[in-house]
Amino acid sequence: MVKVTVCGAAGGIGQPLSLLLKLNANISELSLFDVVNVPGVGADLGHICSDSKTESFLPSSKEDKSALASSLKGSDLVIIPAGVPRKPGMTRDDLFNINASIVRDLAQGIAENCPDAFVLIISNPVNSTVPIVAETLKKNKVFNPKKLFGVTTLDIVRSNTFISQVFSGESKPTDFDTIVVGGHSGETIVPLYSLGKSADLYSKLSEDDKAKLIHRVQFGGDEVVQAKNGAGSATLSMAYAGYKLAESILKAFNEPNVVECTFLNLDDSIKGAAEAKKLVGGLDFFSLPVVLSKDGIAEVKYDVLTKANADEQKLLEVAKEQLAKNIEKGVKFITN
């Protein structure tokens, strides 16, 4: 029996994400929370003949906390895509003022109603909202760093797609499993194409083409924001990415050696996190490949940081500098 709750289920990401979750046979209960339109989404999804039960929860007023509490009670995994998306010309950080308090309030609900749940954060700016959730859970004395995940999976998805487009005659997206480290915003996104399955093809590119490919991954979100022209940012590909991470987490309940990249808290309690923290200049959060288990993150695969080539090391330096500010902003939002 696995209960999954989506906070922001009626939004652009929440709806396709909920559809994908509804189709997952490992989920027995799908709980949908939102502040608008969620009864319709719940009724619609509820007609699908998969075996999971669907319930929707809509607060009756701004003060009503009971709908969130009921949606979260008993949840094993909570995914948060709630909040507002970017418009052309905005950075993810420009969303901070609106999304920070939305995410904080949802984290408070998690602390009160399902403190043991896995928590996956999609709401931007992820580099700051994940620290906000960590600090909120700490304040409530229920923080488990092994169960908090910033969703950076879309950066991996894009990295695989974009390199396959460069080598279109010779490869397909599923040939790759690119490691992407750092954070989830512009230059904090560092694809390590020199490692793993992409290494051979990547080494054939000119320096200029390598730079163009990396830039496309780092600013891939902007392509969608511009194409949607004021109607938001990536929803379908983000739903796919969030689902992929959730699916892997559920798979790791029964299978060993499931690995995903995620933006995590480099807490000493996680194997390899102390070593990772030293390599990233003491940052408390960083996206890295992790080994998953039924208890959460079992191990951080920090060795990718030492294996990255000289050009990637330079990108990492830039990422670290920006991340330090993003993380501090999130932490201070709660601690001040």
Under 8 Å between Cβ of 301 and 275: no
Alpha-carbon separation of residue 321 from 29, 202, 218, 290, 292 (angstroms):
41, 26, 16, 23, 28
The least distance separating ligand LMR from the CB of residue 124, rounded to whole angstroms, comes to 5
The least distance separating ligand LMR from the CB of residue 270, rounded to whole angstroms, comes to 25
Distance of CA 111 to the CA centre of its chain: 19
Q: Is 99 annotated as a binding residue?
A: yes
Residue 26's SS3 state is coil
- Beta strand residue intervals within 23-135, DSSP E: 29-33, 53-57, 77-80, 118-121
Q: Smaller CB distance to ligand LMR: residue 54 or 159?
A: 159
108 C-beta neighbours (distance < 10 Å), count: 17
Q: Smaller CB distance to ligand LMR: residue 167 or 240?
A: 240
How many CA atoms, within 13 angstroms, populate the side-chain half-sphere of residue 79?
Answer: 32
The least distance separating ligand LMR from the CB of residue 233, rounded to whole angstroms, comes to 4
Q: Is 10 annotated as a binding residue?
A: yes
Buried b (16+ CB within 10 A) or exposed e, 157-182: bbbbbbbbebbeeebeeeebebbbbb
Q: Smaller CB distance to ligand LMR: residue 68 or 148?
A: 148
Q: How far apart are CA 73 and CA 59, in angstroms?
A: 15
Q: Smaller CB distance to ligand LMR: residue 154 or 163?
A: 154
Q: Is 8 annotated as a binding residue?
A: yes
The least distance separating ligand LMR from the CB of residue 232, rounded to whole angstroms, comes to 8
79 C-beta neighbours (distance < 10 Å), count: 30
Q: Is 233 annotated as a binding residue?
A: no
Residue 35's SS3 state is coil
Characterise 74 by phi-psi region: left (phi > 0), alpha (psi -120 to 50), beta (else): left
Q: Is 231 annotated as a binding residue?
A: no
Instruction: Give yes or no: 184 in active site.
Output: yes
Strand partners, 66: none
* Binding stretches for ligand LMR (CB under 6 A): 85-86, 92, 124, 154, 221, 224-225, 233-234, 238
- Please identify which of the residues 3, 147, 184, 320 carries the catalytic annotation: 184
Q: Smaller CB distance to ligand LMR: residue 71 or 161?
A: 161
Strand partners, 55: 31
The least distance separating ligand LMR from the CB of residue 221, rounded to whole angstroms, comes to 2
Q: Is 12 annotated as a binding residue?
A: yes
Instruction: Tell me which residue has its CB nearest to ligand LMR.
Output: 221
Q: Is the peptide bond before 125 cis (omega within 30 degrees of 0)?
A: yes
Q: Is 117 annotated as a binding residue?
A: no
Judged on CB neighbours under 10 Å (0-12, 13-18, 19+), 329 is middle
The least distance separating ligand LMR from the CB of residue 126, rounded to whole angstroms, comes to 7
How many CA atoms, within 13 angstroms, populate the side-chain half-sphere of residue 246?
Answer: 33
Q: Smaller CB distance to ligand LMR: residue 92 or 216?
A: 92
Q: Is 86 annotated as a binding residue?
A: yes
Q: Which residues are annotated as a binding site for substrate?
A: 86, 92, 124, 158
List, by residue number, the catalytic residues: 184
Which residues are annotated as part of the binding site? Answer: 8-14, 34, 86, 92, 99, 122-124, 158, 238
Known binding residues for NAD(+): 8-14, 34, 99, 122-124, 238
